[in-house]
Chains A and B, each alone.
Chain A
Amino acid sequence: DTAVSQTPKYLVTQMGNDKSIKCEQNLGHDTMYWYKQDSKKFLKIMFSYNNKELIINETVPNRFSPKSPDKAHLNLHINSLELGDSAVYFCASSQRAGLAGGNEQFFGPGTRLTVL
């Protein structure tokens, strides 16, 4: 029944490792997002895909690579993890792209990444 799900919920890893976070939505939405929320609680958009096509790509190190195998899934792969990557990563989805009225985003529960 979960609308937007993410795995894993917690991820603890060493610097330099490569890790992936998976996201799935069962709402039939066209658009999916990845956000990073750091220790200061700022929620910043990283990427957005609309029907599997990348439409928003903010200033994010190229160690971060999103992949959307279909419009219900948006995974995030991170290479060569650094201490500064420690944060909570949220996946979200919305019916369509943009901020038109009624186009709310539904967020997953978040993945708390800790890099040691």
Chain B
Amino acid sequence: RKEVEQDPGPFNVPEGATVAFNCTYSNSASQSFFWYRQDCRKEPKLLMSVYSSGNEDGRFTAQLNRASQYISLLIRDSKLSDSATYLCVAPYYGQNFVFGPGTRLSVLP
């Protein structure tokens, strides 16, 4: 298994839809994870941190499943402004960590 894998996308969803992405990781000892958002031709920006079982922030919910070694990101009531690439970050070894390849989301009017 690669260090971090994500749903390939692109996900094209209508406004108001609920969409979920998954991210699998290989290091079973991993404790903390992040979801970042990257807009086209911009830098990545933190969306959510994920530790313990998960985290919720408004329309965004991140969940962690340690047994199956994946984290998920759920976006409810999608907005046009949610269109971006979503990057999962997981620890790899030591102080190193890996960004996933990203999942592209397009929210359509």
Contact = CB atoms under 8 A, between A and B. Distances in A.
Interface of A: 35, 40-45, 48, 55-56, 58, 90, 97-110
Contacts of A108: 43
Contact of A100 (B32, B38, B85, B89): B32
Q: Is the interface of A mostly helix, strand, loop or mixed?
A: loop
A100 B90 CA distance: 10
Given A43-B44, A56-B96, A107-B44, A99 B101 contact: no
Contact of B34 (A40, A41, A42, A104): A104
Contacts of B60: none
Interface of B: 30-34, 38, 42-46, 49, 51, 85, 87, 89-91, 95-99, 101-102
Given A41-B102, A99-B91, A104 B46 contact: yes
Given A43-B44, A55-B95, A107-B44, A101 B87 contact: no
Contacts of B43: 90, 107-110
A96 to B, nearest CB: 9
Contacts of A41: 85, 101-102
B32 A99 contact: yes
Contacts of A99: 30, 32-34, 89-91, 95, 97
A105 B46 contact: yes
Please name the 4 residue pairs, one residue from A and one from B, whose CB atoms are nearest each other, closest first.
A107-B43, A43-B99, A104-B46, A101-B51
A22 B49 CA distance: 28
A51 to B, nearest CB: 13
Given A90-B44, A108-B43, A98 B49 contact: no
A22 to B, nearest CB: 16
B44 A42 contact: no
A102 B102 CA distance: 21
B32 A101 contact: yes
28 contacts: A35-B99, A40-B101, A41-B85, A41-B101, A41-B102, A42-B99, A42-B101, A43-B102, A45-B97, A45-B98, A48-B95, A55-B95, A58-B96, A90-B44, A98-B91, A99-B33, A99-B89, A99-B91, A99-B95, A100-B31, A101-B32, A101-B51, A103-B32, A104-B34, A104-B46, A104-B49, A107-B44, A107-B45
